[in-house]
């Protein structure tokens, strides 16, 4: 087990071993926040422009919905593969490769070439899936005592950039000389800045790995080896040390394969249902509001405010997870979600209030779900494995269920049964959250 994962309190500093390089915590934090900035913005930038894209390319409604669901299907397909890549390339190496792929995919998606729209969207989904899976593992490794607050902060950044991309997409597409292709390409800037910050972090990790390998070839006193102090005890790593990629002994893999672990399935079920709620809302809430009599511009503004309001939920949950039993933290947002759905059924004129209610509660849910990947595992390898499983199943459900809800709407001609189904899913989320946030950890 990694010394970082063993630490119960604040991670102490320790003498550096020969050749060991530390990544400054400020640089590592900047890297994490810039990774978060790229997790949702390249995807949400498309939704406000979907009508324009469909008209220009003559896409049917069904085909256009596939364009929105494609990144989620890529999350489901690639998430289980990411932990294997991280074991081969290290966390930092895999994240840098993901950012490189993201930059390429954004460029390809923006080209005046229709297949590029689909290929680029798939590439974005594949690259973001790696970031989705590995950020919880990175926090487990380098910030083991601050998983909740750090998860809240990076989700707040993610929501901010997602809302900015959504809000700026249509105005930018209307600028002289610009088009929807140019507008969806603006997120390339976020990816390039993230890559510029992650490269020195990767260089430090590789230098540390090389130094440790060199140490293994030198004769050392009895009881002393790489990662040990002169007394033979394992030296704890300082915060920000890239222990995994730097060649430190890797924690053992989970004794129980994650796909057979009750703990992993509890976390996965909670992740899946809360993801389904959020992406169902992301897909259909503007349509629900328009059918209730709101104009498209107002519905779009409400969607942006929904995403912005999730920031408050992100930060509040990050703080609560250090002070309150996580089981209560996972349950408390669900009544607010049910209130939002029932409110939309009974008082649609207050749609702005219901949008903010749902956004705030959804911000709570995602932070709670992501923090459980680290909280219910003992090592960052286990966290990555459970994260890959949870996000694969969760995003598969998030891609399939909204389409099924669309079929339900078409069959009934009303959003009322859809909203009642979503109320039931919110109640189920509360129950699953209680079990997902238990005390036992996956070995």
What stretch of H or E contains 433? helix 416-436
C-alpha neighbours within 13 Å on the C-beta side of residue 34: 23
- Give the model confidence (pLDDT) of 128-175 as tens digits: 999 998 998 888 888 888 888 888 888 889 988 988 888 788 889 889
Helix (H, G, I), strand (E, B) or coil at 228: strand
368 in a domain, yes or no? Answer: yes
227 in a domain, yes or no? Answer: no
Percent of the chain with pLDDT over 90: 35
Please check the confidence at residue 371 and state whether its pLDDT lies above 80: yes
442 in a domain, yes or no? Answer: no
What's the Cα-to-Cα distance from 245 to each of 17, 22, 113, 432, rounded to whole Å?
Answer: 15, 12, 39, 35
Q: How many CB atoms lie within 10 A of CB 101?
A: 17
Please check the confidence at residue 44 and state whether its pLDDT lies above 70: yes
| Model pLDDT, residue 26 | 84
- Give the model confidence (pLDDT) of 399-427 as tens digits: 888 888 888 888 898 999 999 999 999 99
Contact 127, 82 (CB under 8 A): no
- Give the model confidence (pLDDT) of 183-231 as tens digits: 999 999 999 999 999 999 998 888 877 777 777 655 544 444 444 333 4
Please give the angle made by the CA atoms of 181, 98 and 133, to the nearest 5 degrees.
115
49 in a domain, yes or no? Answer: yes
- DSSP symbol at 321: T
Please check the confidence at residue 334 and state whether its pLDDT lies above 90: yes
Return phi, psi of residue 377, to 5°.
Answer: -130, 160
| Model pLDDT, residue 68 | 82
Q: How many CB atoms lie within 10 A of CB 218?
A: 8
In angstroms, how far is CA 360 from the centroid of its own chain? 17
**Closest of 80, 205, 201 to residue 130, by C-alpha:** 80
Write b or e for each residue in 308-331: b if 16 or more Cβ atoms lie within 10 A of its Cβ, otherwise e: bbbbbbbbbbbebbeeeebbebbb
Beta-bridge partner residues of 228: 234
Contact 442, 382 (CB under 8 A): yes
6 in a domain, yes or no? Answer: no
14 in a domain, yes or no? Answer: no
> Using CA atoms, how far apart are residues 412 and 409, in angstroms rounded to an integer?
5
Domain count, the chain: 1
* Boundaries of domain holding 54: 21-212+241-436
> Using CA atoms, how far apart are residues 278 and 362, in angstroms rounded to an integer?
7
218 in a domain, yes or no? Answer: no
**CB neighbour list of residue 26: distance below 8 Å, 6 or more residues apart:** none
Let me know if 26 is exposed, middle or buried by CB neighbors in 10 A (0-12, 13-18, 19+).
Answer: exposed
**CB neighbour list of residue 404: distance below 8 Å, 6 or more residues apart:** none
**CB neighbour list of residue 129: distance below 8 Å, 6 or more residues apart:** 74, 75, 77, 78, 79, 82, 391, 395
| Model pLDDT, residue 8 | 35
What's the Cα-to-Cα distance from 320 to each of 196, 263, 267, 360, rounded to whole Å?
Answer: 33, 22, 19, 14
The CATH number for 326's domain is 1.20.1250.20
Please check the confidence at residue 240 and state whether its pLDDT lies above 80: no
Q: How many CB atoms lie within 10 A of CB 413?
A: 8
Helix, strand, coil shares, percent, the chain, to 5: 75, 0, 25
Return phi, psi of residue 234, to 5°.
Answer: -70, 130
Contact 148, 97 (CB under 8 A): no
Please give the angle made by the CA atoms of 233, 238 and 243, to the nearest 5 degrees.
80
**Closest of 96, 85, 100 to residue 198, by C-alpha:** 96
225 in a domain, yes or no? Answer: no
Contact 435, 379 (CB under 8 A): no
């Amino acid at each position: 087990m990694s010394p970082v994962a063993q630490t119960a309190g604040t991670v102490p500093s320790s003498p550096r071993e020969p050749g060991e390089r530390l990544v400054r915590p400020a640089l590592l934090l900047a890297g994490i926040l810039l990774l978060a900035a790229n997790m949702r913005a390249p995807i949400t930038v498309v939704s406000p422009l979907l009508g324009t894209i469909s008209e220009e390319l003559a896409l049917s409604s069904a085909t256009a919905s596939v364009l929105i669901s494609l990144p989620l299907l890529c999350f489901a397909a690639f998430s289980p593969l990411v932990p294997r890549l991280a074991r081969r390339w290290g966390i930092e190496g895999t994240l840098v490769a993901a950012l490189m792929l993201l930059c390429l995919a954004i460029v390809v998606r923006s080209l005046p070439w229709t297949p590029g729209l689909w290929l680029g969207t798939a590439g974005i989904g594949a690259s973001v899936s790696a970031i989705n899976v590995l950020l919880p593992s990175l926090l487990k490794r380098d910030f083991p005592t601050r998983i909740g607050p750090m998860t809240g902060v990076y989700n707040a950044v993610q929501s901010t950039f997602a809302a900015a991309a959504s809000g700026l997409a249509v105005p930018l597409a209307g600028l002289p000389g610009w088009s929807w292709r140019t507008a969806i390409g603006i997120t390339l800037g976020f990816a390039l800045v993230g890559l510029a910050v992650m490269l020195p972090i990767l260089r430090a990790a590789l230098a540390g790995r090389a130094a440790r390998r060199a140490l293994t070839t030198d004769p050392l006193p009895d009881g002393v080896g790489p990662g040990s102090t002169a007394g033979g005890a394992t030296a704890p790593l300082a915060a920000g040390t890239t222990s995994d990629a730097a060649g430190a002994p890797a924690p053992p893999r989970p004794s129980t394969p994650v796909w057979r672990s009750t703990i992993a399935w509890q976390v996965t079920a909670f992740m899946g249902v809360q993801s389904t709620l959020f992406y169902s809302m992301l897909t259909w809430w503007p349509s629900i509001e328009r059918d209730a009599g709101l104009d498209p511009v107002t519905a779009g503004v409400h969607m942006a405010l929904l995403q912005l309001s999730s920031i408050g939920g992100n930060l509040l949950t990050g703080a609560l997870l250090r002070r309150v039993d996580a089981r209560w933290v996972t349950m408390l947002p669900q009544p607010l979600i049910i209130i939002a759905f029932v409110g939309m059924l009974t008082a649609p004129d207050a749609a702005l209030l219901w949008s903010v209610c749902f956004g705030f509660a959804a911000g709570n849910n995602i932070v709670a779900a992501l923090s459980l990947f680290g909280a219910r595992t003992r090592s960052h390898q286990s966290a990555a494995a459970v994260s890959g499983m949870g996000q694969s199943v969760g995003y598969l459900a998030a891609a399939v269920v909204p389409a099924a809800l669309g079929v339900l709407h078409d069959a009934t001609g009303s959003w009322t049964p859809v909203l009642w189904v979503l109320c039931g899913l919110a109640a189920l989320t509360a129950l699953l959250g209680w079990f997902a946030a238990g005390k036992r950890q996956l070995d």
